[in-house]
Structure 1
Amino acid sequence: MKLMSFAVPCYNSEEYMQKCIESLLKGGEDVEIIVVNDGSHDNTREIAEDYVRRYPSIVKAVHKENGGHGSGVNKGLELASGLYYKVVDSDDWLDETALKTLLDTIKKHRTENVLPDLYLTNFVYEKVYEGGRYVRRFTKNFPVNKFFGWEKVKKFHTSSVLLMHSLIYKTEKLRESNTVLPEHTFYVDNIFAYKPLPYMKKLYYLDIDLYRYFIGREDQSVSRENIVRRYEQQIRVMKEMAAAYSYEEIKSFPKGLKRYVLHDLGVIMTLTMMFTTGGKDNPTKRKRELKELWNYIKAKDKKLYRYLKYNTYPVIVDWMPFKLQGRTMLMGYKFFRAVLKCS
C-alpha cells in the first residue's frame, strides 16, 4: 500500500499544475498522485495524461464534468488507495525536504505499529509576486513530534484555525467521517478542515513547513474581490458546518476538540459576515440573506445560535447597521492582510 494519496483537483491549470505535480513526485513510489481534471478547457488533460505515461505506477488521471473544487476532492478520496490522504491545489506545491521528513516519519510509525489518525504540519503563504512569505505554525497549540489526543491541544486565538493545507488524514478515518463536499461551491475546504476532526482521536504534529500556499493570482477564490462576490457560496458552507454537529454533540467532545470546534465555527461565521456585508452590490439582498442564515442556524440549533450570536467574534459588529458592519469587517480584513501577512 502507498503511504500517501495526493489529490490534485485541476480546472484550467495548464500554467501551474506541473510545478505542483513535480513537487509531489519527489515522494517516489511511496505516493500516488491523483490528478482530477474537473472539466478543463485548456491543456490540463494532455498534461495529466503525459504524467500518467511517464509515471504509470505513481500518477493516475481522471477526467470528469465540471463539479467544482469539492467535487475534485470527493473524486480523489473515492479513488485513493494510500494509507493517508492529502489534497494539494494545482497552483500550490510541497517542500521537498519537508515531504521526505513526513514520509520517513510515517514509515517509522508504521514499522512500530503506532500510526496516528491525523498528521499536522505547518503551511506557508507564498506571496510570489510580492516576494514575501508567512509561515503558519502551530507550536503554541500542539505538542511537537509527539503522539497526543485532543486533551493536549491548547487554545487557538483570533483568526488562527486549521486549514486543509495543514491536514493529512488517515484515509480510512476520513471515509468513516462521511465527509462529502458540496459541488459547484468555493470555500469547501472549511468543511474539509472541520467535519472529520471528531473522528481523529490520535494526532501527531511535525513542525515542518510542508505546504506552500500560493497567493497572488487575480482569479484566486481568496482574493478580496472574489470572496465578496461569492458570498452566497460562503453562506452555503457555513450552513453545512452549522449542521454537521449539534451544540450538545460539540459539548460532549474532549475539551481541546470542543474548544477548537467552537472557535472554528466563530471564525468561519465572522468570515461569512465579512463576505456578505463587504459588497456594495445588492445590499438589500445581502442583508436579507445574512438574516436568513442566522434564522437557519436558530431553527436548526438554538443553543448553537446563541453561542455564535452572543459569545464569538460576530458580537463585536452584529449590533451595528449593515453598512457599518461591512466597513468594519473590511478594516479587519485589511489588518489581517497587512499586519499578520495572511489572506
Structure 2
Amino acid sequence: MDKILSVIVPAYNSEDYIERCLSPFVRADAETRKKLEIIIVNDGSTDGTEKMVESYVEKYPYMFKLCNKENGGHGSAINHGVKYVAGKYFHVVDSDDWMNLTEIKGFVRFLEEHDVDVVANSFLCVADGSFKVIDKRPCISDDRYARKEILWEKVAAETELIRIHAITFKREFYLGHNIYLDSLRYYDDFEYTLFPMAYARKVAFYEPYVTSYRLGRSGQSVSIRSMQKNRDNHMKVIESLLKFYDGCSDAPESIRTYLAMGISKIVENQFQIYISLGNKKGIKQEMITFDKMLLDRYPDVYNAVSKKSIWMLRRTGYNILPVGYLVYKLVKRNQ
C-alpha cells in the first residue's frame, strides 16, 4: 500500500519525551498505520534516544524508520529527513510534540482524498507536565474555506501565519522547489514554513486539532532565556528571510503580504530579546539600527508588526525601553 503521510521527527536527546510523540501512531487503526511512515532523524543524540526508537522500528518496521546523523541542528535534521520521504505528503513533528490520536485517521483520509501543495491544520498548545490544553489555534477563521481546495493567491493576504505544528507539504511540491533550510541550531522553523509559501498554488484548511504543541519545557528554543543565548542565530534567520523576501518581488501581492506578515512575527521576537536585555550597554542603539533598517528597506515588514508594545517603543523614540525592561523583570519574577 502506498504511503499517504510521512512524519519527520527531528530528535536530539529526546529519551524523556519522545515516546509520547511516537505512541499515537502505533495506537492508530491497522489500515491507517499502513498509510503512515514515521521517519525519526536522530541528530547525534548522546542519551538513549536511538535505543528507544530502535524498539519501535523492530516492532513496526513497515511504519518506522530510524536515520542517524551527526549533530547539525533542527534544520539539518529536516533536510536529512526529507530525503527519505516516501509519502504523498509529509509533516514535521518535533520530538516533544505529538499528533492527537483521535485525529490521525481523519487527517490521513483527508490527505488521501485531496491534491494540494499545502494543508494547514489546527493545533493545541499544551502545558508541559500537566498536559492541560492552554490554548487552541484554529487554522482558519472563515468556515467557508474549511476542507476545500483553494487558490493560495486568493486567501494568502488574510491568512494567519501557518506554524510548523500546522503545516503539511505535498512531497512533489516541496522537492520540486529545492527548499533547503540553513543548518542553524534554532528558529529555522520560520524558513521551513515561509519559503515554500512563496511558490504554493493550491492549499487546503483542515480545521480539526491534529497536533499538540508542548509549551513550558525547560530548554525550549522559544523560551526567552534561549532566545537571549542564541540571538545571533535568531538574527541570522531574520537576515535569511529578508534576503528571500527580496527575491520574491515578482510574487503576487497577496503572497508578498503573507510573507511580510510571517517575517514580522520573528521580528517581534527580536524585539522581545531587545526588551529583555534592555539594561545591557548598546542594546538600545542596536535595536534602533535594526528597526531603521526595516523601515528603510522593508517597509512592508516594518508595518506588518502588530504588537502594541513595539509601536509604543517606536512612537516614543525607543525611550521607554527601560520601562519595558522593568516590566519584563517583574513578569519573570512572578512566573
**SS of corresponding position for 2:94:** coil
Amino acid of the structure 1 residue aligned with 2:154: K
How far apart, CA to CA, are the structure 2 residues paired with 1:103 and 1:272? Answer: 36
Aligned to 2:190: 190
Structure 2 CA distance for aligned equivalents of residues 334 and 102 of structure 1: 43
For residues 326 and 12 of structure 1, the distance between their equivalents in structure 2, rounded to whole angstroms, comes to: 38
SS state at 1:193 partner: helix
Residues 2, 81 of structure 1: 8 Å contact kept: yes
Superposition map of 1:137-286 within 5 A: 137-140=138-141, 143-153=145-155, 155-156=157-158, 160-246=160-246, 249-250=248-249, 252-279=250-277, 282-284=280-282, 286=283
Matched, 1:77 2:77: no
Q: CA RMSD for the aligned pairs?
A: 3.0
Deviation at 1:53, TM superposition (A): 1.2
Query: Using the alignment, how far apart are the partners of 2:329 and 2:203 within structure 1?
Result: 31
Using a 3 Å threshold, how does the CA distance of structure 1 residues 138 and 256 change in structure 2: closer, same or farther? farther
**CA distance in structure 2 between the aligned counterparts of 1:232 and 1:320, rounded to whole angstroms:** 27
Q: Is 1:324 paired with 2:320?
A: yes
Q: Once the 2 structures are TM-superposed, how far is the Cα of residue 17 of structure 1 from its aligned partner?
A: 0.6
Maintained 8 Å contact 2:278/2:284: no
The verdict on how the C-alpha distance between 1:98 and 1:288 changes in structure 2, with shifts beyond 3 A counting, is: same
* Contact 2:123 2:209 (8 Å CA) reproduced: yes
| 1:43 aligned onto 2:36 | no
Structure 1 position 223, deviation (Å): 1.8
1:123 alignment partner in structure 2: 123
Closer/same/farther in 2, CA of residues 10 and 154 from structure 1, 3 Å limit: closer
- TM-fit CA distance, 1:318: 3.5
Which residue of 299, 310, 316 maps to 1:306?
A: 299
Distance across 2 between alignment mates of 1:227 and 1:198:
27
Q: Normalising by the residue count of structure 1, what TM-score does the alignment of the two structures yield?
A: 0.83
Residues 267-315 of structure 1, C-alpha deviation per residue, up to 9 Å, x if partnerless?
221222222342257542x4565566568768xxx6x423334564455
What corresponds to 1:53 in structure 2? Answer: 58
Question: Identity across aligned pairs (percent)?
Answer: 26
Task: State how far apart, in whole Å, the 1-side matches of 2:325 and 2:154 are.
Answer: 33
Quick one: distance in 2 between partners of 1:40 and 1:132?
A: 29
- The one of 75, 94, 98 equivalent to 2:99 is 94
Structure 2 unmatched ranges of 5 or more? none
Runs of 4+ in 1 over 6 A off after TM superposition: 295-298, 332-335
